[in-house]
Chain A
Amino acid sequence: MISASTLIIATVVLGAGTFAFRFAGPVLRARVELSPRVEKLMAVAAVTLLAALVGTAALLDGHEFVGFARPAGVAVGGVLAWRKAPFVLVVLAAAATAACLRLLGVP
């Protein structure tokens, strides 16, 4: 097993690196005035990232297809959100769909 000091150093390095990633945008943005077009570009980039996270998290577990229960749950949530259902209903329906499908033996 890895020693405690190694684990602490690894955790601190991961934390510091992650903080640097998070801090870069706020600090650099404060130094330059961004045009509305660049502002829009930043927002589009963030939405694109989030959408890609949704796609990969819904369909994949690591490098492989995750099975049908999870994407089915996300799809039910997506349709409800698209139909302007309340957020709470969207989230609970997504979880319930996946959970019920698994109870029925769907992977």
Chain B
Amino acid sequence: MSGWTTITGRAVALPQANIDTDQLIAARFMSAPRSEGYGRFLLHDARQDQADHVLNRHDRADVLVTRRNFGSGSSREAAVYALVDFGIKAVFAPSFGDIFASNAVNNGLLPARLTEDEIEMLIGEMGQDDAPATVDLISGTAVIGGHKMSFDLDPAWQQKLVNGWDDIDLTAQHSDQITKFRAARFAAHPWALPAP
């Protein structure tokens, strides 16, 4: 995964709360290999049921603005694959499902928190239209539809997104500590091993 610092593109608004990962990608699509691309699965049923769905109206969407608890529910990382393969690079919402947010960062997708008021203002202003958006990870700011805002993001996640770090590589530096920890844990608590 490569890191990034800025995005320049178009933002659209999804004015729903609790968009869960089952809606982002329905379970029936999840046996497909990633190599085929997951973008066409993103919000598939909603987009098919509503011809004027905001994602059908615009050729391009780099940034999503949406309501609270985005990505709640199932831990399926395929929901992030669908967003990323569709071309989304950042999602702005008042809150995210914890597992989703973690999955997002692991795939270079920014889950950025704005206040409820900021989100409502943007949703009210954008409606079904798109708006120009720029995101700066280093300063933690975004300009959407001409409004400059500071977003909330865990500094550890900011670093990870900027550097495109892979945790397996990071963890390899601690392999001696892990080996020692394991030996000590099972020596002190033999019951923690599955009984033979």
Q: Do the two shown chains form a genuine complex with each other? A: no
